[in-house]
Structure 1
């Protein structure tokens, strides 16, 4: 069984969603030659390194329909979540924030082709994050250290938004560093795709330490 088939079987998606994810992967390969969207060495492992890694976030927030993905880049995880959750979560909407206009163009075209319930915002995070007060989940992958992610999303986290931030083996050290600046409640969800990685889930944020 191929990586693709294993990932799709584990996710339990419909034929239509599988076709949309196939289209996403094809678009990623095509645009990779124009704009370096992902690390070239990861492209042959796109289903395990990127698709499956993104899909696990849906299970980390069952029922959530309002998502915000920061520094979306190639749409990982935001666009993949929008494609995969469209059928299973009525009313799903994912807002993707990306400052690079060429990456934004990839996201716009791919969201249109796949019919993903995604809105693309080509802007800097700090200039738009305040618009998403009603967001249930904010996520970001391979974007910045946790301390910086909290600084960007503090207005949301203080208002009840949950933060889901995939991290590698540095998850615990980033938590320790962030607690030197911020007061918050968090846990680490073990990653299904990398035994040394985890998803930092921030469930509340009190304030910045003096």
Structure 2
């Protein structure tokens, strides 16, 4: 590895201590793929491109440490592959692992399919709205979402999967307490708050057993 690549490898080890050099190399190759496609379609905010490795890849990678033995994952609003593709790269060697990626934007879905093929990832890309994807995605164990919608809206979108026993890992920013308070007006749910390893103002909400208060 070059000195530059070695620094990145050491940084991912701080997040996922068991990651191999080969897997870290795949993450670096994915980083380059994002940069290449970014010139054609808006995968991430251009202002965050210089921080792609830390702000997007490492931030996504920390989710893989929560439930590494879970087989069936579902990432909604997958966009540029954060966190879905990053999780797929990290967990692809786990026996039986598979992740469904839901993305309604055709161009972004094409990107997801391209990198999934390039890195031989165990993914299925669904070019559809989340509300119409339930019939195709059965009983995911883990649901992930990053910068997609408010917590209350996420509950509305994912309730059918929670009813099948899913657990959610939702990445949230500084207003997460406000989002929890708003969601509690209409929903009952069990949750744990985990501090992000990347951004002190961000958290990961681990949520299970949601139930609507509306009856």
* TM-score between the two structures when normalised by the length of structure 2: 0.92
Indicate the SS of the match to 1:37.
coil
Q: Does residue 142 in structure 1 map to residue 147 in structure 2? A: yes
- Report SS of the residue matched to 1:36: coil
Do residues 9 (structure 1) and 13 (structure 2) align?
yes
Spell out, residue by residue over 1:127-157, the C-alpha distance to the aligned partner (whole angstroms, 9 max, x if none).
1134323200011100000000000001111
Deviations 1:81-119 (A, max 9, x none): 0011112x2111010000000001100001100111111
Which of 56, 65, 73 pairs up with 2:62? Answer: 56
Question: Where do 1:94-173 residues align within 5 Å?
Answer: 94-173=99-178
- Aligned partner of 1:71 among 70, 77, 80: 77
Aligned match for 2:196, one of 184, 191, 198:
191
Q: 2:34 corresponds to which residue?
A: 28
**Cα distance in structure 2, aligned partners of 1:24 and 1:93:** 18
Where do 5+ consecutive residues of structure 1 fail to align? none
Alignment gaps of 5+ in structure 2: none
Contact 1:7 1:47 in 2 (8 A): no
C-alpha distance in structure 2 between counterparts of 1:65 and 1:174, whole Å: 29
Q: How many positions carry a matched residue from both structures?
A: 209
Q: Is the 8 A contact 2:9 2:24 kept in 1?
A: no
Structure 1 stretches of 4+ moved >2 Å: 5-12, 129-133, 206-210
Matches within 5 A, 1:170-185: 170-185=175-190
The alignment yields a C-alpha RMSD, in angstroms, of: 1.5
Deviation for aligned residue 1:58: 1.3
Structure 2 contact 68–91 (Cα < 8 Å) conserved: no
Partners of 2:136 and 2:11 lie apart in 1 by: 34
The answer as to whether partners of 1:130 and 1:156 remain within 8 angstroms in 2 is no
Aligned to 1:91: 96
* 2:55–2:198 contact (8 Å) kept in structure 1: yes
